Amino acid sequence: MATTLFALLAVVLYLTAAAGLARPLLSGGKPLNRAALALAGTAVVIHAFILLGTHRGALDLHFFAALSLVACVVSALTLVVNISRPVAALGVIVFPLTALLLAADTLVAPATSPQPLEWQIKLHVTVALLAFSVLSIAAALAILLAIQERALRHRQFGPWLRALPPLTLTETLLFRLIGAGFVLLSLTLLSGILFVENLFGQHLIHKTVLSIIAWLVFGALLYGRWRHGWRGRSAVNLTLTGMGVLLLAFFGTKAVLELILHRTP
């Protein structure tokens, strides 16, 4: 009962924070970024305690639990990004999704217990979690970048466009995040090679192949940026393509195994 109440409180805080960040985008009103980010920070702390309590302080890799954990990390990283680079609009995308995934895990999904994991696999999973989270934020930024470019191309200079950060800042931050995510994804694949013994027996071959494809997409994007100055629509399309493949790798196969085939990870 207490977990449900705290989960509902965190959901309300996430949604309120998103509404506060969306205010200047919708009406051109006074920004409430500081207050909204403080509410989101409180929600992240509550969310983290819920995960620790519900899943006994362990890594629970079941479908809904893993989604909730990733969402919590993505929201925390969104707050960190806003400390150095004010991109408050990012929270308008991230925080409602986090609220939805937290509600699904605590209010809808059946109770699960974490599987015992050796430290090598825990390390592998932690790096993979960080890689997915960083690249998720990059994908959200790519969406913002696409919206900005489309609005500028069609001369739609509304108050919401003026509330967004400059296009160059968004693009620079996008590639920095992709670079960091690419390094983490490389470490994920390397640790998987070193620590995972039986890809076929653990139903990991599809995840591995898709992760390698995503790694190639992000690698090609970074090379194209360095060598040919890729930007704009090309950068957005490749970022979203790579993230789509990575989403299939991390959660598409997991959804099929758990929700359709009813197999444990």
pLDDT digits (tens, 9 = 90+) for 50-66: 998 877 667 777 888 88
Q: Which of 29-43, 50-64, 158-172, 179-193 has the lowest mean pLDDT?
A: 158-172
Residue 220 and residue 212: Cα distance in Å, rounded?
A: 12
For the segment 216-238, the average pLDDT, to the nearest whole number, is: 89
For the segment 159-164, the average pLDDT, to the nearest whole number, is: 60
Q: What helix, strand, coil percent values describe the chain, rounded to 5? A: 80, 0, 20
> In the prediction, which pLDDT does 231 show?
80
> In the prediction, which pLDDT does 8 show?
95
The pair of structure tokens assigned to 188 is 């994920």
For the segment 77-92, the average pLDDT, to the nearest whole number, is: 83
> In the prediction, which pLDDT does 169 show?
80
Per the model's pLDDT, the better-predicted residue between 244 and 202 turns out to be: 244
> In the prediction, which pLDDT does 264 show?
58
Residue 248 and residue 265: Cα distance in Å, rounded?
A: 15
Residue 47 and residue 115: Cα distance in Å, rounded?
A: 21
Question: What does the mean pLDDT of the chain come to?
Answer: 84
Residue 52 and residue 10: Cα distance in Å, rounded?
A: 15
Q: Phi-psi bin for 18: left (phi > 0), alpha (psi -120 to 50), beta?
A: alpha
Q: How far is CA 81 from CA 49, 69, 74, 139, in A?
A: 22, 18, 10, 14
Locus of tokens 């919590």: 72
Q: Establish how many alpha carbons lie within 13 A of residue 18's alpha carbon, considering only the half-sphere containing its beta carbon.
A: 19
CA angle 13, 88, 98 (to 5 degrees): 40
> In the prediction, which pLDDT does 202 show?
55
Locus of tokens 């409430």: 32
> In the prediction, which pLDDT does 192 show?
83
For the segment 145-150, the average pLDDT, to the nearest whole number, is: 82
For the segment 105-131, the average pLDDT, to the nearest whole number, is: 83
**How do residues 230-259 score in pLDDT, each as one tens digit?**
887 888 999 999 999 999 988 877 776 666
End-to-end CA, the chain = 28
> In the prediction, which pLDDT does 200 show?
46
Locus of tokens 């085939």: 261
Q: Where are the alpha helices (DSSP H) in 154-204?
A: 159-163, 167-195
Reported as a pLDDT band with limits 50, 70 and 90, residue 263 is low
